[in-house]
Amino acid sequence: MADTILDVEGLTKNFGSKKVLKNVSFSVEKGHIVGLVGPNGAGKSTIMKAILGLFNYPSGKITLDGQPVSQTSHQALEKVGALIEYPGIYPFLSGLQHLELFSNDGVSKQQIMDVVDKMKMGSYIKRKAKTYSLGMKQKLGIALALVNHPALIILDEPMNGLDPQANKDLRTIILDLAKQGTTFLISSHILSELEKLIDDLIVIDKGQIVYRGDMATLESGSTRSMVLQTSDDAKAKDILSQNGYKLIDSDHVSVVEDETTKMADIIKLLSTNNIEIEDVKHVHSDLETSLLDLLKNDKVKEG
Amino acid sequence: MVTLVRQEIFKLVHKKSTWATSIILLVIMTIFAVISRNHPNTIDPKAIFVSLFTGFDWIVLFMIAAASSIISMEFQYGTIKELLYRKYYRGEILVSKWLAMVLYSIYFIALAFVYSLILKLILFNGTFQLSETYGNKHSILVTALYTSLSGFVALWLVLSLVLLLANLFKSSAAAISVGIIGYFAINVVSSMLIIAIKKWTWLKWNPLNMMNYPNQVISPSLKHMTLLSTNELLIGSLVYMVIFLGISYSVFKRRNV
């Protein structure tokens, strides 16, 4: 496929006898923002490190823009910027010196300052990095991933330690760059943030991919429900289930919604039975709920 | 590769310790020069000039510290990933660090050498002439030059071992200790070594014996004790360097990050 920038095929990795990645395959399209999520220790960072050629893998194939990537072939990594686990910082250099150190020959001072401005780091960029707070270091790590204008940017937990404003700024930067054709692979535990960014989602659990697809599909697969607060919840539950409504087992009256569910019908049904409705809420499951459902139901066994 | 070496130099230049050690070196050399000028019977001005006013020994100390931390600091600061996931090969990253260290050691020796000449001009202008014969057949200036060049070989024999140990132990402390002990132990154990070599001649090929290379360059008669010619010591030193650096290279390539 011409518009695929990253292709991972049958990737396997063991640490000792423990299998950390089992036959992982996915591809990433150019200009897409892809979220990589999963529980702690699922193998997210390991996948990212493999893509960055940081270790050998016994089987599988990784290609970046058509070029193979492994520990011994790094040529394609010219097109990649990354922040993995936590930002590596030399305490004796200033933020600006870090950016100068890691910027490619073609990157001008002006382009470096553009990244600094975008990340709003101007006020402290000339200070020694050892004086930086956690969030400042994180921003520097992200700036280092961006500075060479790579085609693919890999960010591992980029929102770590960022304040709400910085979070929003980062989102704007990522969305802008994606519009210009930059591809992102982002892992995060802050699902509410990730949800606002990503086009596609890869869910990994115990070293295996359990979901791969776009966000819309995942959301449509989840349940929508209507939560009612009534003058007599117990009675309301009885009446609704007698009338063929599917209820979710919970303290509240929670009705599963589908295309045929009409609120007016429910209101009518309850009021004819002398039950007052005090409040109605539509609950649409977010990424977090969908994901937790997915992980709860997945059949992956530890091995 | 040029880019990588330049990046390593950039880091060195921006480290305070680089400049601090340079200044300490010059201060110590000045102190020894002044003592020697005031007490020429205690410290022979010619001998101390040839040893770059003790500068060479301090350079060994500073270089052992620098070499042991050049790789371990990347692990300590978490910057090793940033170094490795670029378009460069692992081997190139390691070799660029070695080259930066070679340049750093040349800088130190050149600095000490030039400063020795300055000290000689200022403090010992009337005491002795650089063209005077010293020791065997060479002039003082040439002897100082040979001492520095052969010392450079011995320095790198130690540094190749330090680089290997720092790589194996992932920590600079062990490498520093072994490096310093290794370099200075030669003076302590040399007499024992000479007895041992007389008894078991194959022991002459051990790396500690190679450390005698600078001494034998200046006093060729030492060959009766090392049982090796000066050239054999040079070749032996180079072979050990290649072995130590070769092991480092393969360890570094395999290392998990």
Q: What is the CATH number of the domain that holds A161?
A: 3.40.50.300
Considering the domain architecture, whether residues A40 and A103 belong to the same structural domain is answered as yes
User: Does A168 map to a domain?
Assistant: yes
| Closest by Cα among B146, B140, B145, B134 to B213 | B146
Report the alpha-carbon distance of residue B70 to residue A120 in Å, rounded. Answer: 32
CB < 8 Å to B87, chain A:
74-78
Which residues of chain A does B21 touch, with a Cβ-Cβ cutoff of 8 Å? none
Of A75, A97, A101, the CB nearest to B87: A75
Q: Please state, in angstroms and rounded to a whole number, the distance separating the CA atoms of residues A254 and A34.
A: 33
Does the residue A290 lie in any domain?
Answer: no
Reply yes or no on whether the pLDDT at A301 is more than 50. Answer: no
> What is the SS3 assignment for B227-242?
CCCHHHHHHHHHHHHH
Residue A255 and residue A109 share a domain? no
Q: What is the pLDDT of residue A220?
A: 62
Tokens representing residue B15 in the block: 């480290």
Domain-ending residue, one of A213, A244, A261: A213
A82 vs A72: CA distance, rounded Å: 18
Q: A residues 92-111 near B, CB within 8 Å?
A: 92-93, 97, 100-102, 105
**Are the Cβ atoms of B85 and A52 closer than 8 angstroms?**
yes
| Confidence label for A302 from pLDDT (cuts 50, 70 and 90) | very low
Please give the residue range of the domain that contains residue B227: 2-254
Mean pLDDT throughout A82-91?
Answer: 91
Please say whether the beta carbons of A136 and A96 come within 8 A: no
Q: In the predicted model, what is the mean pLDDT of residues A3-17?
A: 89
- Range B17-40 average pLDDT: 94
Q: Could you tell me if residue A203 is inside a domain?
A: yes
Q: Look at residue A221 in the predicted model and tell me its pLDDT.
A: 62
Residues A234 and A165 in one domain: no
Residue A1: the pLDDT is: 45
d(CA A262, CA A281): 13
Asked if A271 and A156 sit in the same domain, the reply is no
Domain check: are A92 and A44 in the same one? yes
User: Phi and psi at residue A47, in whole multiples of 5°?
Assistant: -60, -45
Residues B141-163 have pLDDT tens digits of: 999 999 999 999 999 998 998 89
Task: Please give the Cα distance from A17 to A303 (Å, whole number).
Answer: 10
Give the separation between CA B211 and CA B153, rounded to whole angstroms.
Answer: 9
Tell me the CATH number at A239.
3.30.70.100
Is residue A160 located within the same domain as residue A18? yes
The predicted pLDDT at position A242 comes to 87
| Same domain for A49 and A122 | yes
Q: Are residues A59 and A130 in the same domain?
A: yes
User: In a mutagenesis test of the A interface, which of B11, B21, B79 is the best target, namely the one with the most A β-carbons within 10 Å?
Assistant: B79
Amino acid B231: pLDDT:
92
Burial call B195-219: b when 16+ CB within 10 Å, e when fewer: eebeeeeeebeebebbbbbbbbbbe
Q: Are residues A64 and A157 in the same domain?
A: yes
pLDDT in the model for residue B58: 94
Q: Between B207 and A291, where is the model more confident?
A: B207
Contacts of B85 in chain A (CB under 8 A): 52-54, 74, 77, 80, 82, 84
Q: How many CA atoms lie within 13 A of A44 on its CB side?
A: 25
Confidence of residue B249 (pLDDT cuts 50, 70, 90): very high
Q: Which amino acid is at B250?
A: S
What is the helix (H) or strand (E) element at residue A119, kind and residue range? none
pLDDT score of B92: 92
Asked if the model's pLDDT at residue A223 lies above 70, the reply is no
Query: Are both A241 and A137 inside the same structural domain?
Result: no
* Spatial contact of B91 and B249, defined as CB atoms under 8 Å apart: yes
- Tell whether A293 is covered by a domain: no
Per the domain annotation, does A38 fall within a domain? yes
Mean pLDDT of A225-247: 85
The residue count for chain B = 257
Tell me the average pLDDT of chain B. 89
Residue A13 lies in a domain: yes
Total tally of structural domains belonging to chain A: 2
* Mean pLDDT of all residues in A160-170: 90
* Domain extent at residue A143: 2-213
Shared domain check, A86 and A154? yes
List alpha helices for chain A, DSSP H. Answer: 44-51, 95-102, 109-118, 134-146, 164-179, 191-195, 215-220, 233-242, 263-272, 287-297
Same domain, A259 and A114: no
Q: Is the pLDDT of residue A20 over 80?
A: yes
Residue A126 lies in a domain: yes
Cβ–Cβ of B86/A86 closer than 8 Å? no
Cα–chain center distance at A278? 37
Residue A45 falls inside a structural domain: yes
Type of residue at B64: I
Most confident residue range from A70-74, A90-94, A161-165, B163-167: A90-94
Q: What average pLDDT does the structure give for chain A?
A: 87
Write out A127-161 in H/E/C secondary structure: CEHHHCCHHHHHHHHHHHHHCCCCCEEEEECCCCC
